[in-house]
Structure formats: C-alpha cells, structure tokens
C-alpha cells in the first residue's frame, strides 16, 4: 500500500496565514458590537429582575406575584423570558439578538406609554429605553455606512 502523500507533493505549498481572507472591521462596527454587549448585560439584569419578581425573591409579603393583576403577571413573565433570550443573542452579536432586543424595547415602551395600569407610567423608563433604541439605530447606520459595497 502506498503513502497518500509524498514529500514532493508538499513542496509547492505555502504556509497558512491567520490574517488572510479576513475582512477588516471598522470602528463603528466595533462600537456597535460593544453596545450590543453592554445591552446584553443590561438585558440579563432586567430578565433576572423580572424572574426575581415572579419567584418572590426580595419582595415584600404584599408584593408577591399572585397579589398583582393578571396584566402585570403576563407582562412580567413576558419580559422575564424575552430579556434573557435577547441577552444571549446580543452577546453573540447574532442578527436575531438585535431583533429580539428591539421587540423587548418596543414592547416595554408600549406597556409604559399605552398601558400605565400595568407598571405605572414610568417616564424615566420611556426616556432611557427610547434613548437606547435611538443610539442603537444610529450606531447601526454608522456601521452600515462603513461596510464595503
């Protein structure tokens, strides 16, 4: 049985370089990924906060999950799940992570603005979430502009 390769077969091969074939990443793309990672950490904290409310961790006896309205319970469970899913996707910088995060932000804005009976009308939440949404859109546009066509 013959050998699969001989020394003559390997003479013309060049060494493999790690940097070959890589597309350079621009500064705005790096900033966008950093923003996504920070939003992943914040989404993780938000999701864990909502789960603590569901599980009754750190709440007063009259503030247990069952003591709240059905609308509050549904919204809390929704955000407990969607924020953690968004955190994973954002940390991985996956396209679906940003979509889930945008859904969570838009949902929180809708709940705060149109359904104040759920969490109360939190103007600070609206300003912060709206500002983060605007910052994301601005970074995404700047990142898209530096990509080669």
Is this model's pTM higher than 0.85 or not?
no
* CA 148 to each of CA 24, 29, 123, 143, 144: distance values in angstroms, whole numbers, following the listed order: 10, 12, 40, 11, 9
Which ranges of the chain would DSSP assign to H, the alpha helix? 27-55, 70-91, 95-114, 116-119, 123-145
Enter the tokens of residue 112: 């705060």
Q: What is the pLDDT along the chain (149 residues), one digit of tens a residue?
A: 566 666 666 666 666 666 665 567 789 999 999 999 999 999 999 999 999 999 999 988 888 999 999 999 999 999 999 999 999 999 998 989 999 999 999 999 999 999 999 998 889 999 999 999 999 999 999 999 987 66
């Amino acid at each position: 049985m013959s050998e699969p390769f001989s020394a003559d077969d390997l003479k013309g091969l060049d060494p493999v370089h790690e940097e070959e074939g890589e597309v350079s990443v621009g500064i705005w793309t790096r900033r966008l990924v950093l923003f996504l990672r920070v939003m992943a950490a914040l989404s993780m904290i938000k999701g864990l906060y909502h789960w603590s409310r569901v599980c009754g961790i750190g709440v007063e006896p009259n503030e247990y999950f069952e003591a709240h309205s059905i609308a509050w319970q549904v919204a809390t469970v929704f955000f407990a799940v969607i924020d953690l899913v968004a955190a994973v996707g954002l940390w991985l910088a996956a396209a679906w992570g940003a979509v889930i995060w945008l859904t969570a932000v838009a949902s929180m804005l809708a709940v705060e603005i149109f359904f104040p009976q759920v969490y109360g009308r939190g103007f600070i939440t609206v300003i912060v979430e709206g500002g983060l949404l605007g910052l994301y859109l601005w970074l995404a546009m700047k990142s898209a502009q530096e990509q080669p066509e």
